[in-house]
């Protein structure tokens, strides 16, 4: 069973001659009920939404997303809440791409088969597990493929050509290029280097290549949109949850911020 | 009368063959592996290659063994604890005196090896996590000797519990970085060290402190610690004319346990016992017994037994000893348990403290609270055996660092306020 939704989303963006906007929030942050509304507000502006599965030990995340996980878990978020939020997003936005993102131990504990079945039923199109590199894919690849979920793999500045080939062989949907050697929310590296590496990866695969980590401003979004197939904004969106009190204000801030990012992408396409 | 230790040739005790190696991906059966973020995959591969290259190089071992002998003070003695054996009234208890190593615990065996590797790889900076502070001290020590910049990540709660070790690390020139996230203990220190390493792997080597984490750490840390069991094996044969009936070690992440037990892997007549921290008792949640009470899961780069809730969130753990206060365990011990080559035991905080007092009073040896768990279980095992049998216990570290904790618990009993 193959999934075409992510491919369709990127084709649509390409037809508009622009990059896709990929937004991230942690499900259940600051609590499951509020999170659903925030996620819907962000999803309305994005081409692809990454729904973070909160985890007690987010080893690849910076302080902002660590705090999001801690808030979500402290508010009693369960994996069922993640699926319910996913379902709500899918119902509201039938045409966007939805990727569940997180760490291996949550789906491993549920069992990848059951996890994949529930994720698919909730409306997810793909799954990105930070700590399952292609070499360890035997524990999840079959289950994801059976249930028609894309397996999104990461590449980074330290990835050699051998590793790029490996990720392109085992990954589906899109490639997520981590623009810096560091954790989420860190400062972006040199844009010229990011462009070179992204374009190099693009020559090695037909999959779209999205660039993320450290992208916080519309200007950075525009610069990345100039060469990447998608631009991922995560920590910056999550930071609105701490910066603004109140559900309505946070929804509005997210919406405004995401709209500005989308505008920057369209501007880059027009330039 | 046994032959003296001097009759044992130092370097001939060590077998450099890598036995029971994991598969090419670092899997011990279904456990282990390399569950790491993409950014770390290439640095880990480079460490793996450098390790195998170094291990095949006689010059590497020459320098390593020279440092172990003349800097660390190996071989550590095997001590026949006659008084304790008599008091327990069962098997003869032999203590492998890792507490006599330079820096006071077994940890330095590994930091010497990894620091040599870091130097070979041209890395000028090292980082490490630490729980009880023993690995931090051992890392800071070799960093001082090799003139490397050193950052140690340590949970805020552990900094409070192990103040003397924090001071030692600072004296040695290391920067101790407090970690406030999560439970502010060892697992969070590992998380933070991994985050820092992701950002600095270009010029920084991560000296992982236990036989866990992503491949090649479980294999490499084991190889650097098997000097413990290889010496103990030769010393047992020398002093008693036979192998021990039982070998006992405490387990947090499992570095001293795999170091002592692995060289007896193929001696099927030797019972191998891992002693976990039962904290306030295995019936509740306040313990750190991942093998006894956990289930397979993925954390810190490998698949092994984990203490977690039903959805896979990692649980808070508890142990009187910071060094055992860890929700995971090395993958090879998990594999040995599943194939029936490892026997599990545990000791509560109270049992460990009782053993701590007993060994101190009976033999004049103050053990680390971690090692006290092995002593507690080892004494019970010995009590059920006959006087012509032997129990080998790894005394992985000395108790100087635990004076604060023990003073809080026993101070009154000893008229502490009048000291």
Each residue's pLDDT tens digit, B80-97: 999 999 999 999 999 999
- Binary contact (B297, A108; C-beta < 8 A): yes
Does the distance separating the beta carbons of B39 and A158 come in below 8 Å?
yes
pLDDT score, position A3: 66
- Using a CB-CB cut-off of 8 Å, the residues of chain A touching B314 are 56-57, 105
Between A245 and B256, the more confident residue is B256
**The predicted structure's pLDDT at residue B3:** 45
Is pLDDT above 60 for A2?
Answer: no
pLDDT at B10 over 80: no
Q: Going along chain A, which residue ranges are E strands? A: 20-26, 48-52, 97-102, 126-129, 150-151, 153-155, 175-178, 209-212, 230-233
Q: Is A164 on the interface with B (CB under 8 A)?
A: no
Q: Is the dihedral of CA A105, A111, A117, A118 positive or negative?
A: negative
Burial grade of A243 (CB within 10 A; 0-12, 13-18, 19 or more): exposed
**CA distance linking residue A221 with residue B352, whole number of Å:** 57
Residue of B34, B188, B306 with shortest CB distance to A136:
B34
Helix (H) or strand (E) run with residue B376 in it:
helix B369-383
Q: Are B165 and B136 in contact (CB under 8 A)?
A: yes
- Is the pLDDT score of A189 beyond 90? no
Query: Of all residues in chain A, what percent carry a pLDDT higher than 70?
Result: 98
What is the predicted pLDDT for the residue at A243? Answer: 61
Distances from the Cα of A258 to the Cαs of A101, B241, B271, in angstroms?
19, 75, 62
Q: What is the pLDDT of residue A186?
A: 87
Question: In this complex, do A105 and B182 lie within 8 Å of one another by their Cβ atoms?
Answer: no
Give the mean pLDDT of chain B. 94
Of the candidate CATH numbers 3.30.300.30, 3.40.47.10, 3.40.50.300, 3.40.50.1100, the domain formed by B78-103+226-411 belongs to: 3.40.50.1100
Q: How far is CA A49 from CA A20, A73, A208, A212, in A?
A: 10, 21, 15, 13
Cβ contact A59–B195 (<8 Å) = yes
Q: What is the CA radius of gyration of chain B?
A: 20
A181 in B contact zone (CB under 8 Å): yes
Is B1's pLDDT higher than 60? Answer: no
> CB-hemisphere CA count at 13 Å for A33?
4
ipTM > 0.90, yes or no: yes
Are B37 and A163 a contacting pair at CB < 8 A? Answer: no
Of A50-64, B116-130, B182-196, give the lowest mean pLDDT range.
Answer: B182-196
- The pLDDT value recorded for residue B183 is 82
Which residues of chain B are within 8 Å of residue A153 when distances are taken between CB atoms?
Answer: 38
Fold of B28-72+106-217: Rossmann fold (3.40.50)
Q: Which stretches of B59-213 are assigned E, i.e. beta strand?
A: 78-80, 92-97, 125-130, 149-155, 175-179, 204-206
**Residue B300 CB contacts under 8 Å (≥ 6 apart), including other chains:** A57, A59, B187, B190, B191, B194, B212, B213, B214, B328
Query: Per residue in A13-70, pLDDT tens?
Result: 999 999 999 999 999 999 999 999 999 999 999 999 999 999 999 999 999 999 999 9
* Contact check, Cβ <8 Å, A105/B34: no
Residues in A touching B27 (Cβ below 8 Å): none
The pTM for the full model equals: 0.95
Residue A5 vs residue B184, higher pLDDT? A5
Phi, psi of B11 (to 5 degrees): -75, -20
Residue range B115-129: mean pLDDT, rounded: 97
Q: Does A84 have pLDDT greater than 90?
A: yes
B contact test, residue of A57, A137, A212 with most B CBs within 10 A: A57
Question: Residue B4 — pLDDT band, cuts 50, 70, 90?
Answer: very low
Q: Indicate if the pLDDT at residue A245 is higher than 80.
A: no
Q: Which residue has the tokens 């590496």?
A: A197
- Position with higher pLDDT, B62 vs B416: B62
Cα Rg of chain A, angstroms: 17
> Would you state the CATH architecture of domain A5-270?
Alpha-Beta Barrel (3.20)
pLDDT in tens, B192-213: 999 999 999 999 999 999 999 9
Banded model confidence at residue B138, pLDDT cuts 50, 70, 90: very high
User: Per the CB < 8 Å rule, is A135 touching B25?
Assistant: yes
> Which residues in B have their CB inside 8 Å of a CB on A?
25, 33-43, 181-182, 187-188, 191, 194-195, 198-202, 297-301, 303, 306, 308, 310-314
Strand bridging mode A153-155 / A175-178: parallel
Residue numbers in A near B202 (CB within 8 A): 181
- Chain B interface includes A2 (CB < 8 A): no
Using CA coordinates, name the residue in chain A closest to B327.
A57
Q: Report the C-alpha gap between A115 and B286 in whole angstroms.
A: 29
The pLDDT > 90 percentage for chain A reads 92
Q: Alpha-carbon distance A126 to A173, whole Å?
A: 7
Confirm or reject contact between A55 and chain B (CB < 8 A). yes
Q: What pLDDT sits at residue B410?
A: 86
Residue B419 has pLDDT above 90, yes or no: no
Across B175-184, B194-203, B244-253, which has the greatest mean pLDDT?
B244-253
Please name the residues in contact with B75: beta carbons below 8 A apart, sequence gap of 6 or more. Answer: B5, B8, B10, B13, B69, B227, B231, B235
Q: How many CB pairs under 8 A join A and B?
A: 115
Establish if A105 touches chain B: CB-CB under 8 angstroms.
yes
pLDDT tens readout for residues B328-347? 999 999 999 999 999 999 99
Give the nearest partner residue to A109 out of B33, B188, B297, using CB atoms: B297
What is residue A265's predicted lDDT score, i.e. its pLDDT? Answer: 97
Nearest to A57 among B191, B198, B201 (CB): B191
- Bond before A254 cis per omega within 30 degrees: no
Contact A158 B36 (CB under 8 A): no
Contact A56 B313 (CB under 8 A): yes
Q: What is the mean pLDDT of chain A?
A: 95
Q: State the average pLDDT over residues B41-70.
A: 97
Sequence ranges of the domains in chain B: 28-72+106-217, 78-103+226-411
Task: Identify all chain A residues contacting B298, using CB atoms and an 8 Å cutoff.
Answer: 103-105, 108, 131
- Residue spans of alpha helices (H) in B147-185: 156-161, 163-171
Q: In this predicted structure, what is the pLDDT of residue B33?
A: 98
The CA–CA distances, whole Å, from A229 to A38, A151, B85, B170 equal 25, 17, 71, 48
Over range A129-136, report the average pLDDT.
98
The predicted model gives A110-136 an average pLDDT of 98
């Amino acid at each position: 069973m193959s999934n075409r939704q992510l491919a369709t989303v990127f084709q649509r963006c390409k037809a508009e001659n622009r990059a896709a906007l990929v937004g991230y929030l942690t499900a259940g942050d600051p609590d499951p009920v509020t999170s659903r509304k925030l996620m819907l507000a962000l999803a309305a502006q994005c081409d692809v939404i990454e729904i973070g599965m909160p985890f007690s030990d987010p080893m690849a995340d910076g302080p902002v997303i660590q705090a999001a996980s801690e808030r979500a878990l402290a508010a009693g978020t369960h994996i069922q809440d993640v699926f319910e939020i996913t379902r709500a997003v899918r119902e509201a936005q039938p045409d966007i791409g939805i990727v569940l993102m997180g760490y291996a131990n949550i789906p491993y504990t549920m069992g990848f088969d059951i996890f994949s079945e529930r994720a698919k039923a909730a409306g997810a199109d793909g799954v990105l597990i930070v700590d399952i590199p292609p070499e360890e894919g035997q524990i999840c690849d079959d289950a994801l493929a059976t249930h028609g979920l894309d397996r999104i793999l990461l590449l980074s500045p330290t990835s050699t050509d051998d590793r790029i080939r490996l990720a392109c062989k085992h990954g589906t949907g899109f490639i997520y290029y981590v623009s810096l050697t560091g954790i989420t929310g860190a400062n972006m590296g040199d844009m010229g280097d990011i462009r070179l590496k992204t374009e190099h990866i693009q020559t090695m695969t037909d999959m779209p290549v999205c660039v993320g980590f450290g992208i916080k401003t519309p200007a950075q979004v525009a610069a990345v949109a100039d060469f990447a197939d998608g631009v991922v904004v995560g920590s910056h969106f999550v930071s609105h949850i701490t910066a603004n009190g109140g559900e309505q204000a946070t929804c509005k801030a997210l919406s405004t911020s995401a709209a500005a990012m989308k505008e920057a992408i369209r501007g880059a396409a027009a330039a | 009368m046994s032959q003296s230790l001097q009759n044992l040739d130092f370097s001939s005790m060590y077998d450099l063959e890598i036995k029971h190696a994991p598969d090419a991906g670092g899997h011990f059966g279904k456990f282990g592996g390399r569950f790491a973020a993409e950014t770390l995959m290439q640095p880990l591969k480079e460490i793996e290659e450098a390790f195998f290259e170094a291990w095949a190089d006689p010059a590497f071992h020459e320098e390593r063994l020279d440092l172990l002998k003349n800097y660390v003070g190996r071989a550590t003695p095997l001590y026949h604890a006659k008084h304790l054996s008599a008091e327990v009234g069962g098997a003869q208890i032999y203590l492998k005196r890792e507490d006599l190593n330079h820096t006071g615990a077994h940890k330095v065996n590994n930091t010497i090896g990894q620091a040599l590797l870091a130097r070979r790889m041209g890395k000028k900076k090292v980082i490490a996590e630490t729980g009880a502070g023993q690995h931090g001290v051992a890392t800071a020590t070799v960093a001082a000797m090799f003139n490397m910049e050193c950052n140690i990540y340590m949970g805020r709660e552990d900094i409070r519990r192990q103040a003397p070790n924090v001071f030692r690390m600072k004296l040695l020139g290391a920067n101790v970085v407090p970690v406030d996230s999560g439970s502010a203990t060892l697992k969070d220190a590992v998380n933070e060290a991994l985050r820092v390493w992701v950002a600095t792997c270009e010029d920084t080597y991560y000296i992982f402190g236990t036989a866990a984490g992503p491949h090649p750490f479980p294999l490499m840390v084991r190889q650097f610690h098997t000097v413990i069991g290889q010496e103990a094996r030769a010393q047992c044969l020398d002093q008693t004319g036979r192998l021990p009936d039982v070998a006992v070690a405490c387990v947090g992440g499992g570095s001293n346990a795999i170091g002592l037990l692995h060289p007896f892997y193929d001696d099927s007549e030797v019972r191998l016992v891992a002693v976990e921290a039962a904290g306030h008792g295995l019936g509740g949640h306040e313990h750190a017994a991942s093998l006894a009470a956990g289930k397979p899961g993925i954390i810190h780069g490998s698949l092994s037994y984990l203490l977690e809730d039903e959805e896979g969130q990692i649980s808070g753990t508890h142990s009187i000893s910071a060094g055992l206060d860890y929700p995971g365990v090395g993958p090879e011990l998990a594999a040995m348990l599943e194939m029936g080559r490892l026997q599990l035991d545990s000791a509560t905080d109270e049992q460990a403290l009782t053993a701590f007092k007993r060994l101190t009073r009976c033999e004049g040896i103050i053990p680390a609270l971690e090692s006290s768990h092995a002593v507690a279980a080892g004494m019970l095992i010995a009590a059920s055996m006959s006087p012509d049998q032997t129990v080998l216990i790894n005394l992985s570290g000395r108790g100087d660092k635990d004076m604060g904790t023990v003073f809080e618990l026993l101070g009154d009993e000893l008229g502490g306020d009048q000291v």
